Amino acid sequence: MSLSLRLLCLIALGLGLGFVNMAWSDDCVECHKKVTPAAVNQWQESAHAEKLDCTDCHGKDHEAIVAGEAFVDAKVCGRCHEKAFHEHVASKHGMGLHSGWGCTRNLDTRDPRECAFCHEEGSTRPKTTVQCARFLTQTAEMRSLGCNRCHQVENSCASCHTNHITDLAAVRAPESCATCHMGPDHPQWEMWQTSRHGVLSATLGESAGPTCQRCHMPEGSHDISFGVTMSPAMVQLSGEEFDQRRREMLGICVQCHGQSFSERELKSADAILAQSKKLIMEAEVIIRDLADRDLLVPSLQERPHHPLRDRELVLDGQMLYEDISHIERLFFKMKKYDLAKTVKGAFHQNPAYTHWYGNAELKMTLADIKAEAARLKNVPQSLTEPVDSRAGDGLYLSLEEELKILKRKHDRGAISDDEYGEAKQLLLKQLPNK
Amino acid sequence: MKRLLFFCLIIFALATSCVKAPLPAPITGHPLLPLADIDNSGLFAANPDGTKIAIARDGLSLFDVNSKTAHDLSLKKPVALAWSPDGLLLAVAFEGADYETELLLYSADGRILKETSLPVVLSQLVWSRRGDLLAAGFALKIYTFGGNLRQLLYTVDLDSVEEILLSDSTLRPALARQVKPLLHNLLPVAFSPQGDELVFLRLHDPPEFSAYFQMLYRNWQVDSARELDKFPLQAMALDWNLNGDSIRIQSETGQQTLKLWPAEVQAMGSSSAEEYRFHNGQLYRGSQLVVDWGDDAQIQWFADGTFLLAVNRQLYRGSGLLKNSAITYNETDWNLRRWRYEELVTPEEYKKLRQEIDK
């Protein structure tokens, strides 16, 4: 075949492919104007309409699209929006799904498409080992709507930007964050809205009162961890990481406030975080002691297995709010709701959240926990479990209980080997026949 | 004719003298004295002071040693007999229908006080030193897709029957059918002399491997069992030592002793070299064979050195066989043993405290 003939064939092929592509897009629009007119309208009015057609993002496999297998994830957007994609992936939003997801492969209701959230195609290796016990205990419907609708932010730019709209006004408004950042566990929206920042923003505009985006996503950055000195579990960062994040936030504050004022306010919030966590620790010690004494109702043996820790008493970020005792439920409220309101209220400069919704609730719940602990300790044992009259009543039974409590404390590291040995000897001295 | 009669008499006399020939006694000068007839199962149980003996003989009889009289308790043949440590209750197990066990509690004078049915084939019937009646057994259900083998322990008293699950195994269909008629010999259960702990075999049939026995150890008052060892499928015998701290295992590969605890405690005044032990009709002193009465022989010792021996359809009484077998109930030791099992006290702490008790 001559060179000119080959060239001619290639041109024809190129034209042919271009025609097919155009035909595809025309087909999409033609049909989807009837099927999903809003999506077509939004795309036609968007900045994407000039440069991209449907297949650029959705691909050409219509069957896969219909089956929901051609998910337009963040990587698709990242092909063009490279900087935003990398900032997003490195930020807390980039672990949004991880922090709310557990492996679903053993669940009856598992949707195979979910694999793509945690695994690269063809890989069984998860992107992270983080799992969420609260997610795993939900129904498929609740997991989809109640968990993933927010936590899918890791993989979905549409979480904030919506699917076809490109008008940045929609994502630059603080309301955009409110869909997820509201409610009892982290009411950033409500506490900002009613803070001086929020009120000034609502009344005099953004130049007078900063929005979420102004402080946390300066200059359009997608690193929403910017200036934040706590982990999602409200553990204070340390060392260079803390210093860097604090410098970032001070850089924002000083755009309106003095340096020393800004430093003092943030330090006050740091102090409130430390003070509040002390209250949490106090409550945790009480509950662990009750678990050592097997006084929780239902007991760790009686309740369903924890999806990640089996029979362990779980009071950390994997704590459940169901199938637990009343005193644990009080602790959950204290840690998940009251602590968050106090601390985030302080950092967002909202006195009512910091004090009344937060601090006061923290302390009142601690009082409830103490009262409940006292009640549980005074419940006659016969009410919680039948006593085997032949298992050694009186002295033997009480010594056995004390030995079990000591062992649990020792096993979880609350007392040293020496303390354990000494305390045990004191108990065993009470045995008769010696 | 006279000669023939004379010859017959001689033959008869010789035959009779063979039957009546005295059994070898374990100690010279302490002959075995015939006491009563017994059936070929050799099953009997005497109360703690040896004055009343329940004997399997055309059903079940209660024999009064002092009056030498017996009266029938049942026409059914028992499969297990056990007197309570205080001698007030006699537990008797009969084979029931559909692989069940009928369990009856009699008073010392032979009145039925309780009758209950256990949904298992009985493996072992014992009283603990504390006075718990313990009945261990197994139940095998065969389905088209496989078998479910459960080993269960029942604690029985006059008011209640409590069930404790010892093991639960799923068997492949072929294995389930194959072992069903053999299970009684394949699943031994051995209780400690105190009756608080037991060692037993669990038949494990994992999907990817050959079936095997898991030897499990458990204090029955505590929920969980511990694996001691694994063995290929075979008939095995388990036998606790006197102290209840180690177990002798007789398997196809020979005999071995398994210490259950690292700090083994020897009971005061006993040593394994002097201890009498009875196994498969053979009497040992330490490791020395004293006498072999045959596989079917059964023995029961008493604290004063007397003993009862069932052999050749005859029950004998002997004496002079001093054995440190008098494990008495001690509440502190009973609780300490459970605490040791639950790891609330270490084996070393148990050993120290036990020595203080023995003093």
User: What's the complex ipTM?
Assistant: 0.80
The CA distance from B79 to the nearest CA of chain A, in Å, is 28
Flag if B334 and A428 touch (Cβ within 8 Å).
no
CA-based nearest residue in chain B for residue A396? B335
* B315 half-sphere exposure, CB direction, 13 A CA radius: 25
User: B159 CB near a chain A CB, below 8 Å?
Assistant: no
Instruction: Please state, in angstroms and rounded to a whole number, the distance separating the CA atoms of residues B138 and A106.
Output: 33
User: Residue B289: is it exposed, middle or buried by C-beta count within 10 angstroms (0-12/13-18/19+)?
Assistant: exposed
Instruction: Please state, in angstroms and rounded to a whole number, the distance separating the CA atoms of residues A299 and A379.
Output: 14
> Looking at the predicted structure, is the pLDDT value of residue A13 above 60?
no
> Looking at the predicted structure, is the pLDDT value of residue B190 above 90?
yes
CA B40, B45, B50 angle in degrees (round to 5)? Answer: 125
User: B329 CB near a chain A CB, below 8 Å?
Assistant: no
> Looking at the predicted structure, is the pLDDT value of residue B17 above 90?
no
More confident residue, A115 or B107: B107
The CA distance from B42 to the nearest CA of chain A, in Å, is 34
User: B155 CB near a chain A CB, below 8 Å?
Assistant: no
Q: What is the mean pLDDT of residues A265-275?
A: 97
> Looking at the predicted structure, is the pLDDT value of residue A307 above 90?
no
Per mean pLDDT, which of A124-133, B314-323, B348-357 is the most reliable?
A: B348-357
Contact between residue B183 and residue B138 where contact means Cβ atoms under 8 Å apart: yes
Q: Which of B332, B343, B344 is facing A433, going by the closest CB pair?
A: B332
CB pairs under 8 A between A and B: 42
Contacts of A391 in chain B (CB under 8 A): 221
Per-residue HEC secondary structure of chain A comes to CCHHHHHHHHHHHHHHHHHHHHHHHHHHHHHHHHHCHHHHHHHHHCCHHHHCCHHHHHCCCHHHHHCCCCCCCHHHHHCCCHHHHHHHHHCHHHHHHHHCCCCCCCCCCCCHHHHHHHECCCCCCECCCCCCHHHHCCCHHHHHHHHHHHHHHHCCCHHHHCCCCCCCHHHHCCHHHHCCCCCCCCCHHHHHHCCHHHHHHHHHCCCCCCCHHHHHCHHHCCCCCCCCCECCCCCECCHHHHHHHHHHHHHHHCCCCCHHHHHHHHHHHHHHHHHHHHHHHHHHHHHHHHHHCCCCCCCCCCCCCECCCECCCCCCCCCCCCCCCHHHHHHHHHHHHHHHHHHHHHHCCCHHHHHHHHHHHHHHHHHHHHHHHHHHHHCCHHHHCCCCCCCCCCHHHHHHHHHHHHHHHHHCCCCCHHHHHHHHHHHHCCCCCC
Per-residue HEC secondary structure of chain B comes to CHHHHHHHHHHHHHHHHHHHCCCCCCCCCCCCEEEEECCCCCCEEECCCCCEEEEECCCEEEEECCCCEEEEEECCCEEEEEECCCCCEEEEEEECCCCCEEEEEEECCCCEEEEEEECCEEEEEEECCCCCEEEEEEEEEEECCEEEEEEEEEEECCCCEEEEEEEEEEECHHHHHHHHHHHHHHCCEEECCCCCEEEEEEEECCCCCCCEEEEEEEECCCCCCEEEEEEECCCCEEEECCCCCEEEEEECCEEEEEECCCCCCCCCCCCCCCCEEEECCEEEECCEEEEECCCCCEEEECCCCCEEEEECCEEEEECCCCCCCCCCCCHHHHHHHHHHHCCCCCHHHHHHHHHHHHC
Which range, of A340-349, B110-119, B235-244, averages the lowest pLDDT? B235-244
pLDDT tens digits for range A20-45: 444 456 678 989 999 999 999 999 99
User: A311 CB near a chain B CB, below 8 Å?
Assistant: no
The CA distance from A92 to the nearest CA of chain B, in Å, is 44
Instruction: Please state, in angstroms and rounded to a whole number, the distance separating the CA atoms of residues A218 and A197.
Output: 16
Instruction: Please state, in angstroms and rounded to a whole number, the distance separating the CA atoms of residues A137 and B159.
Output: 42
Q: Which of B221, B336, B344 is facing A391, going by the closest CB pair?
A: B221
pLDDT tens digits for range A188-219: 999 999 999 999 999 999 889 999 999 999 99
Contact between residue B106 and residue B90 where contact means Cβ atoms under 8 Å apart: yes
| Strand order across the B101-107 sheet | B78-83, B89-95, B101-107, B112-118
Whole-angstrom Cα Rg for chain B: 22
pLDDT tens digits for range B151-174: 999 999 999 999 999 999 989 888
Query: Mean pLDDT, chain A, as a whole number?
Result: 85
Q: What is the pLDDT of residue B2?
A: 60
Closest CA to A390 of B55, B267, B308, B220: B220
Contact between residue A125 and residue A261 where contact means Cβ atoms under 8 Å apart: no
Give how far Cα B197 sits from Cα of A193, A396, B219, B245, B329, Å: 67, 18, 4, 10, 14
Q: What is the pLDDT of residue A387?
A: 41
Interface test with A, best of B332, B342, B354, B358 (most A CBs within 10 A): B332
The CA distance from B241 to the nearest CA of chain A, in Å, is 24
Instruction: Please state, in angstroms and rounded to a whole number, the distance separating the CA atoms of residues A122 and A128.
Output: 16
More confident residue, B110 or A103: B110
Contact between residue B92 and residue B54 where contact means Cβ atoms under 8 Å apart: yes
More confident residue, B58 or A264: A264
More confident residue, A167 or A104: A167
Instruction: Please state, in angstroms and rounded to a whole number, the distance separating the CA atoms of residues B216 and A2.
Output: 85
Which pair of structure tokens corresponds to residue A316? 């950390």
The CA distance from B221 to the nearest CA of chain A, in Å, is 8
Contacts of A428 in chain B (CB under 8 A): 345, 349, 353
Residue B80: pLDDT band by 50, 70, 90 thresholds? very high
Q: What is the mean pLDDT of residues A284-293?
A: 95
The CA distance from A404 to the nearest CA of chain B, in Å, is 7
Q: Which of B331, B334, B357 is facing A434, going by the closest CB pair?
A: B357
- Measured N-to-C along each axis, helices A37-45 and A3-35 cross at an angle, to the nearest 10 degrees, of 120
Which pair of structure tokens corresponds to residue B305? 């050195």
The CA distance from B357 to the nearest CA of chain A, in Å, is 5
Closest CA to A56 of A41, A38, A43: A43
Contact between residue A100 and residue A132 where contact means Cβ atoms under 8 Å apart: yes
Taken in order A47, A51, A52, A56, is the CA torsion positive or negative?
Answer: negative
User: A429 CB near a chain B CB, below 8 Å?
Assistant: no
Which pair of structure tokens corresponds to residue B78? 């028992």
CA-based nearest residue in chain A for residue B359? A434
Flag if A396 and B335 touch (Cβ within 8 Å).
yes
Contacts of B339 in chain A (CB under 8 A): 400, 403
Closest CA to A388 of B334, B260, B343: B334
The CA distance from B332 to the nearest CA of chain A, in Å, is 7
Contact between residue B139 and residue B119 where contact means Cβ atoms under 8 Å apart: yes
More confident residue, B141 or A382: B141
User: Residue B128: is it exposed, middle or buried by C-beta count within 10 angstroms (0-12/13-18/19+)?
Assistant: buried
CA-based nearest residue in chain B for residue A401? B344
CA-based nearest residue in chain A for residue B157? A390
Q: Which of A388, A403, A433 is facing B339, going by the closest CB pair?
A: A403
Residue A392: pLDDT band by 50, 70, 90 thresholds? very low
More confident residue, B7 or A268: A268
Flag if A407 and B349 touch (Cβ within 8 Å).
no
More confident residue, A75 or A297: A297
Contacts of B357 in chain A (CB under 8 A): 433-434
Q: What is the pLDDT of residue A432?
A: 83
User: A433 CB near a chain B CB, below 8 Å?
Assistant: yes
Contacts of B132 in chain A (CB under 8 A): 390
- Per the DSSP assignment, residues forming a β-bridge with B46 are B53
Q: What is the pLDDT of residue A65?
A: 86
Q: What is the pLDDT of residue B218?
A: 97
> Looking at the predicted structure, is the pLDDT value of residue A128 above 60?
no
Count of C-beta atoms within a 10 Å radius of residue B87 = 15
> Looking at the predicted structure, is the pLDDT value of residue A360 above 90?
yes
Question: What is the pTM for the complete model shown?
Answer: 0.65
Residue A122: pLDDT band by 50, 70, 90 thresholds? low
Interface of B with A in 169-228 (CB under 8 A): 221
Closest CA to B162 of A388, A382, A392: A388
| Strand order across the B298-301 sheet | B33-37, B314-318, B307-311, B298-301
Which pair of structure tokens corresponds to residue B18? 């063979």
Share of chain A above pLDDT 90, in %: 58
CA-based nearest residue in chain B for residue A430? B332
User: B357 CB near a chain A CB, below 8 Å?
Assistant: yes
User: A391 CB near a chain B CB, below 8 Å?
Assistant: yes
Flag if A433 and B349 touch (Cβ within 8 Å).
no
Interface test with B, best of A393, A396, A402, A410 (most B CBs within 10 A): A396
Write down the residue that tokens 């430093």 correspond to: A263
Interface test with B, best of A294, A389, A404, A428 (most B CBs within 10 A): A428
Flag if A407 and B344 touch (Cβ within 8 Å).
yes
Residue B217: pLDDT band by 50, 70, 90 thresholds? very high
User: B284 CB near a chain A CB, below 8 Å?
Assistant: no
Query: Mean pLDDT, chain B, as a whole number?
Result: 86
Residue A420: pLDDT band by 50, 70, 90 thresholds? very high
Q: What is the mean pLDDT of residues B115-138?
A: 96
Contact between residue B83 and residue B89 where contact means Cβ atoms under 8 Å apart: yes
Which pair of structure tokens corresponds to residue A47? 């900045």
Q: What is the mean pLDDT of residues A56-61?
A: 91
User: A392 CB near a chain B CB, below 8 Å?
Assistant: yes
Flag if B332 and A400 touch (Cβ within 8 Å).
no
Contacts of A407 in chain B (CB under 8 A): 343-344
Interface test with A, best of B219, B335, B354 (most A CBs within 10 A): B335
Share of chain A above pLDDT 70, in %: 82
Contact between residue B47 and residue B83 where contact means Cβ atoms under 8 Å apart: yes
Q: What is the mean pLDDT of residues B233-237?
A: 91
> Looking at the predicted structure, is the pLDDT value of residue A252 above 80?
yes
Per mean pLDDT, which of A97-111, A274-288, A300-314, B61-75 is the most reliable?
A: A274-288
Q: What is the mean pLDDT of residues A151-179?
A: 90
Instruction: Please state, in angstroms and rounded to a whole number, the distance separating the CA atoms of residues B329 and B332.
Output: 9
Instruction: Please state, in angstroms and rounded to a whole number, the distance separating the CA atoms of residues A354 and A365.
Output: 15
Closest CA to B105 of B69, B67, B71, B131: B131
Q: What is the pLDDT of residue A20?
A: 44
Which range, of A250-259, B206-215, B322-331, averages the lowest pLDDT? B322-331
Contact between residue B161 and residue B134 where contact means Cβ atoms under 8 Å apart: no
